[in-house]
Amino acid sequence: MKRFLSLLALLSVAFAAPGTGTVISGQFNVAAGENANLRFEFKLAQHVLFNRAGSSLISFTNPFTNKPVELEVSKGKPYPNAPEDYLESLDALGAKLSVPAGTKAGVYRVSLEAEMFLCEGVLKVCYREVTAGKLEVRVGGSGRDVPVRLEFARPGR
C-alpha cells in the first residue's frame, strides 16, 4: 500500500483537489521597529495525511519590505504505518516579519498562499491542495495575537 500511495502521489501532483483547504485569518500586533512573530497552525481532517514526497510551502510577501517569504512545511508526527512517507499531524510553524522603524501605525493586510501535498487514507488518493487567505499585522496595535489556522478536509467533503 505504501508503494501504491507513493506512486499515486507522483501521478497526482499536478492536479489540485476541489477546494478542501480553509485558511482562517490571523491577526498579529507589533510596534514599529520590531518583529511580528507569526504562528501558523495546521489541522488535518481524519484520514488525511501530509505527504512528505511533495514540497509543501506557505508563501507571502512582507508588506513592509516587499520581499517574498517562503516557509517549508515538513515537520510533524510521523504516520505509524509509513513514517518515512507521511505525517498524521503537522507542527505549528513560526516566522518573523520585520517591521521597519518609522512605519506608520495602522493595519497592514498580508495575502498568503499555502500549497500542501496531502493523501486521503481511505480513498487512497493523493493530491495537491492550494488555498489562499489573509492575515493582518497591526502596527502600533495591542491585543492578543491570533494564529493563522489552516484546515484541510477530506476531498469531496
Instruction: Yes or no: say if 91 and 72 are a contact pair by the CB < 8 Å rule.
Output: no
Residues 153, 104: Cα–Cα separation, whole Å: 39
For residue 150, what pLDDT is reported?
83
For residue 11, what pLDDT is reported?
31
Q: Which domains does the chain carry?
A: 2-152 (2.60.40)
Q: Cell triple for residue 29? A: 500586533
List, as one string, the DSSP characters of 14-55: T-B-SS-EEEE-EEEEE-TTSEEEEEEEEEEPTTEEEETTS-
Residues 86, 4: Cα–Cα separation, whole Å: 13
Read off the pTM: 0.77
pLDDT tens, residue by residue, 92-145 = 999 988 899 999 999 999 989 999 999 988 888 899 998 888 888 999 977 778
Residues 127, 48: Cα–Cα separation, whole Å: 11
pLDDT tens, residue by residue, 49-103 = 999 998 899 999 999 989 999 999 999 999 999 999 999 999 999 998 889 999 9
Instruction: Yes or no: say if 103 and 139 are a contact pair by the CB < 8 Å rule.
Output: yes
